[in-house]
Amino acid sequence: MRQQCHVSSVRARSRGGEFRAFTLIELLVVIGIIGVLMGMLLPAVQGSRESARRTQCMNNLKNISLAAHEFHDSFKQFPPGFLGPTPTPNSQNLQQGQHVGSMVFLLPYLEQGNLHRPIDSKVADYDNISLYDLKKEGTPWWNRTQAWETAHESVAVLRCPDDTSTRANHGMGASLVTQMNDGCINVTILWFCSRPADLGRTNYLGVAGAVGVVGCPTWDNHEGIFTNRSKSSFASIRDGASNTLMFGEAVGGTPQPEFFYSWMGVGAMPTAFGFGQGKWWQFDSCHPGVVQFAVADGSATAVSKHIDKNVLVALSGMREGTQSAAPH
């Protein structure tokens, strides 16, 4: 029996003159609508990306704070803010000391032990707590071969993803020192004007309190966790860990940085000058409206760039309690 193959087809009839195209006006309207939709979509995409970068930055701060906690577990104290001049900095001794900052001591707890190991032990021996003794000074890190070579390494957790600047007007900060001269507080940055771009940078500095420790009780009452050769511990934080800022963001000046900060050396930043004015001696960020901080309890928070300076100083000190506002 022969099988019959069935074929179905559809026949389209073309009628002349019935094909219709867009007019120029209609095309312009469609383009306009697409433009409006894109205009609505792009800010949302950009906002989402900014939110993701800001979240990553906050996670970096949390990780650094937790690294400081682990260091404390090992040594019963936090690392020093930086190893600067002794007994207190002044205009005559600014370049004395090893000048390594707190981040160097935290490297093993940030899964960066391979960077810490080559550093000259006389610069940053985290297994020898006696190194923090005020009488012990050493050669600045930039004059030690191993420390200098290691300082060129980039450490992702120490960089804010929102900071995409590639050039600083002056150069790379090697150390940040606050001192009192003739009754005035001076913040001094030691910096490189040549070969700065390839040194590893950080956007996160320890909180020094109002001005750190400068030998003046009125100011020293507002001492933060990280100061020159500090030996702070949880017991030192009498205001409570949840009320005390630990690490904060810094970009070296906005909108164009004056300086970058080397993670090897720039360890602590004062708060007496407030922030939000885009200066290199202030905490600041690339995030709109806020500067992010790690808190001593291991959390992180965003602080308004318009916060009252006295409130900022109070948050940055370890034992503010009912003390009066910072001196002017």
Task: Give the 3-state DSSP-derived string for 235-292, with helices as H, strands as E and coil as C.
Answer: HHCCCCHHHCEEEEECCCCCCCCCEEEECCCCCEECCCCCCCCCCCCCCCCCCCCEEE
CA 113 to chain centre: 20
Number of H helices, E strands in the chain: 7, 8
Higher per-residue pLDDT: 139 or 286:
286
pLDDT in tens, 210-230: 999 998 999 999 999 999 999
Using pLDDT thresholds of 50, 70 and 90, give the confidence band for residue 29: confident
Measure the CA–CA gap between 192 and 148, rounded to whole angstroms.
12
Measure the CA–CA gap between 152 and 264, rounded to whole angstroms.
9
Using pLDDT thresholds of 50, 70 and 90, give the confidence band for residue 35: confident
Q: Is residue 99 part of a domain?
A: yes
**The pLDDT of residue 43:** 62
Strand partners, 228: 82
Measure the CA–CA gap between 290 and 306, rounded to whole angstroms.
8
Q: How many residues does the chain have?
A: 328
SS3 188: strand
Measure the CA–CA gap between 188 and 316, rounded to whole angstroms.
20
Q: Is residue 16 part of a domain?
A: no
Residue 222 near residue 211, CB atoms below 8 Å: yes
Q: Is residue 66 part of a domain?
A: yes
pTM of the model: 0.81
Listed ranges 42-51, 137-146, 170-179, 200-209; the one with the highest mean pLDDT: 200-209
Q: Is residue 27 part of a domain?
A: no
In the numeric block, the tokens 């004056």 are attached to: 258
SS3 149: helix
DSSP state letters, 91-138: TTSTT-S---BHHHHHGGGGT-HHHHTTS-HHHH-TT-GGGG-TT---
**The pLDDT of residue 250:** 97
Closest CA to 250 of 295, 198, 201: 201
Strand partners, 186: 179
**The pLDDT of residue 211:** 95
Which structure tokens are listed for 319? 């034992």
**The pLDDT of residue 325:** 46
% residues pLDDT > 70 (the chain) = 81
Domain of 232, in residue numbers: 42-316
Residue 246 near residue 79, CB atoms below 8 Å: no
Which structure tokens are listed for 79? 């690392």
CB atoms within 10 A of CB 253: 21
Q: Is residue 11 part of a domain?
A: no
Across 169-185, average pLDDT: 90
Indicate the residue type of 66.
L
Across 293-320, average pLDDT: 95
Indicate the residue type of 85.
P
Using pLDDT thresholds of 50, 70 and 90, give the confidence band for residue 9: very low
**The pLDDT of residue 125:** 52
Q: Is residue 101 part of a domain?
A: yes
Q: Is residue 23 part of a domain?
A: no
Q: Is the pLDDT of residue 107 over 50?
A: yes
Q: Is residue 33 part of a domain?
A: no
SS3 191: strand
Using pLDDT thresholds of 50, 70 and 90, give the confidence band for residue 117: confident
Using pLDDT thresholds of 50, 70 and 90, give the confidence band for residue 45: low
Across 44-58, average pLDDT: 77
Which residues does 219 contact at the CB level (< 8 Å), separation at least 6? 180, 185, 210, 211, 272, 326, 327
Using pLDDT thresholds of 50, 70 and 90, give the confidence band for residue 50: confident
**The pLDDT of residue 220:** 93
Do the bridges between strand 290-295 and strand 245-249 make them parallel or antiparallel, or are there none, so unpaired?
antiparallel
Domains in the chain, number: 1
